[in-house]
Amino acid sequence: MENTKLPAKLKAEIIENGEIQKQFGLPKTEFGPLKVVRIFDPGTNQAWAFVVIDNLKRGPSLGGTRMAPDISVLEVYGLASAMTFKNAAARLPIGGGKSGIFGDPVYYRENPEEKKRLITMFAEAIWPVKDYIPGPDMGTDEQDMQLIYDTFTGLNGAPNHGRGGVGRPPANGGLPLDEWGLTAHGLYAAAKTAQEYEPGFSIKGSRIIIQGFGNVGCPIAEKLSADGAIIVGASDINAGLFNPGGLDIEELARIRKEKGGLSRYHGKAEIMFTGKELPSLMNLPCDILVPAARPNVITAANADSIRAKIILQGANNPVDKATESWLQEKKGIACMTDFIVNAGGVIACAAELRMDKDMPYAEEVREEDGLGRAFLEKLVYQTVSDNVREIYSRLKSEKDKKLTWRDMAMALAKDRLK
Ligand code: NAD
């Protein structure tokens, strides 16, 4: 959708039961989806956003608010469904949901007042949708979550409403999961734990390619690099860089938020991909490929070209299921499942949600460093590494059945959804 003039108001329409399949063609599974909420301009009937509430078995649904110009109900549903399994696998008292706002984050970064207006209208429209709690995702940040929280406070008449947004700035009682790199911390825990199980794999000296050098991609590069890994490739929407001797990640971290992003890189790089060639970065040799941008970037079309040993799934749904099985069976690539390894952010969101209503818990979280970062890093590390160990041990005990990482991750999540 093009950025069009903002409407005066947005409204929510809840679509349930068979209408979900009829109107949007979404699949129906034993877990969901339960509701699709269409957020529209009552003046023109134009849709501006969608919320998908997938499953409420473990509690109200929690999942990020994505902003992208080409977001679709199908993409939001895929992400909501992943949240159902992610939240269950991490034993969080929340269900699976997600939302998507049509909009170009680059345009709104340059027009912050318009973004504020859009986020406020979105919050007002979803306030009656009591079983969805928004957090940050691609295209939204902690300031947007604060705005949603404040809008809810206004509508509620008081703070501590337990409705989110979560992932707010620490000065306002939030846990800034992106600033603290908490999702990356979970990916790091997964990579550390994989050293115990993947034959011959060690982070030290391993070659890493990061597709999507954003709030997840940048800190995982920094963490792995600090342990002796070599970041040979990195990309953002502007450029993909490859240097077998390693990229200068300090420079990448510095330029990633500037206009032009990684295309401004001046350090040594043997190859720079741009435009349609961007995905080719993922075909270059490495030990760990970290997709950390959009869904379905590895499919049957490019699977044969992938030369990684491990795919550490920072993004949600970066590889389609059939391709994952093929990669594991035919090429021996371990696809470490998104909803197990990238749960760090939502673990922090769930903690913040509880802190909003439970003061003794908030004090416990902040006890060590006054902010909660140390507590959260330990919690994320422990949760992700325990789940990774559990999956490897299930895979080992059923090794004759040719099951995949995802098969085991799903089995674990389903056990916790019962
Ligand atoms: P972000 O917006 O900070 O970063 C995304 C990066 O991907 C940007 O650098 C962008 O330029 C780049 N990008 C977009 N399209 C690309 C393309 N075609 N090729 C290469 N690069 C491209 O977002 P983020 O918060 O880092 O999230 C990244 C992914 O991780 C998303 O799929 C998100 O759902 C998932 N995720 C994020 C969190 C979190 O805590 N932030 C938690 C779980 C999962």
Same domain? For 138 and 208 the reply is no
3-state secondary structure string across the chain: CCCCCCCCCCEEEEEECHHHHHHHCCCCCCCCCCEEEEEECCCCCCEEEEEEEEECCCCCEEEEEEEECCCCHHHHHHHHHHHHHHHHHCCCCCEEEEEEEECCHHHHHHCHHHHHHHHHHHHHHHCCCCCEEEEECCCCCHHHHHHHHHHHHHHHCCCCCCCCCCCCCHHHCCCCCCCCCHHHHHHHHHHHHHCCCCCCCCCCCCEEEEECCCCCHHHHHHHHHHCCCEEEEEECCCCEEECCCCCCHHHHHHHCCCCCHHHHCCCCCCEEECHHHHHHHHHCCCCEEEECCCCCCECCCCHHHCCCCEEECCCCCCECHHHHHHHHHHHCCEEECHHHHCCHHHHHHHHHHHHHHCHHHHHHHHCCCCCCHHHHHHHHHHHHHHHHHHHHHHHHHCHHHCCCHHHHHHHHHHHHHC
Quick: pLDDT tens for 267-291: 999 999 999 999 999 999 999 999 9
Kindly name the residue from 86, 98, 223, 309 that is annotated as catalytic: 98
Given pLDDT bands bounded at 50, 70 and 90, which one contains residue 3?
A: low
Q: Measured from the CB, is residue 138 less than 6 Å from ligand 1? A: yes
Tokens of 246: 């390693």
Same domain? For 208 and 92 the reply is no
Same domain? For 133 and 276 the reply is no
The verdict on residue 99 lying in a domain is yes
Residue of 65, 76, 144, 215 with the most ligand 1 atoms within 8 Å of its CB, for mutation: 215
Looking from the CA of residue 293, the nearest atom of ligand 1 is 7
Same domain? For 140 and 198 the reply is no
Residue 98 annotated in active site: yes
**Enclosing domain of residue 366:** 182-418
Quick: pLDDT tens for 290-328: 999 988 999 999 999 999 999 999 998 899 999 999 999
* pTM for the full predicted model: 0.93
Nearest-angstrom CA–CA distance, 298 and 394: 26
Given pLDDT bands bounded at 50, 70 and 90, which one contains residue 4?
A: low
Q: Which protein residue has the closest C-alpha to ligand 1 atom 20?
A: 236
CB 42 within 8 A of CB 13: no
Question: Which of 132, 166, 200 delimits the end of a domain?
Answer: 166
Same domain? For 289 and 258 the reply is yes
Is the pLDDT confidence value at 98 over 80? yes
Supply the CATH number for residue 383's domain.
3.40.50.720
Report the Cα 337 to chain-centroid distance in Å: 12
Tokens of 21: 């399949």
Q: Which protein residue has the closest C-alpha to ligand 1 atom 15?
A: 237
Quick: pLDDT tens for 182-214: 999 999 999 999 999 999 999 999 999 999 999
Q: Measured from the CB, is residue 137 less than 6 Å from ligand 1? A: yes
Q: Measured in angstroms, how far is the CA atom of residue 250 from the centroid of ligand 1? A: 19
- Rounded mean pLDDT of the chain? 96
For residue 400, what pLDDT is reported? 74
Q: Measured from the CB, is residue 235 less than 6 Å from ligand 1? A: yes
The verdict on residue 174 lying in a domain is no
For residue 160, what pLDDT is reported? 93
Q: Which protein residue has the closest C-alpha to ligand 1 atom 43?
A: 342
Is the pLDDT confidence value at 401 over 90? no
Same domain? For 192 and 136 the reply is no
Same domain? For 312 and 230 the reply is yes
CB 302 within 8 A of CB 284: no
Quick: pLDDT tens for 363-382: 999 999 999 999 999 999 99
From residue 122, give the alpha-carbon distance in Å to each of 72, 96, 137, 198, 380. 16, 19, 15, 45, 30
- By C-alpha distance, which of 399, 395, 397, 417 is closest to 408? 395
The verdict on residue 74 lying in a domain is yes
Nearest-angstrom CA–CA distance, 95 and 415: 14
Q: Measured in angstroms, how far is the CA atom of residue 383 from the centroid of ligand 1? A: 22
- The residue to which tokens 């999961």 are assigned: 177
- By C-alpha distance, which of 113, 110, 82 is closest to 98? 82
Q: Measured from the CB, is residue 342 less than 6 Å from ligand 1? A: yes
Is the pLDDT confidence value at 225 over 70? yes
Looking from the CA of residue 346, the nearest atom of ligand 1 is 42
List own/partner pairs for 106-114 with CB under 8 A and 24 or more apart: 107/3, 108/3, 108/67, 108/139, 114/6
Same domain? For 157 and 241 the reply is no
Q: Measured from the CB, is residue 177 less than 6 Å from ligand 1? A: yes
Same domain? For 206 and 145 the reply is no
Quick: pLDDT tens for 23-74: 999 999 999 999 999 999 999 999 999 999 999 999 999 999 999 999 999 9
Same domain? For 97 and 246 the reply is no
CB 255 within 8 A of CB 230: no
Same domain? For 119 and 223 the reply is no
The verdict on residue 276 lying in a domain is yes
Quick: pLDDT tens for 142-193: 999 999 999 999 999 999 999 999 999 989 989 989 889 999 999 999 999 9
Same domain? For 156 and 262 the reply is no
Q: What is the mean predicted confidence (pLDDT) over 105-111?
A: 93
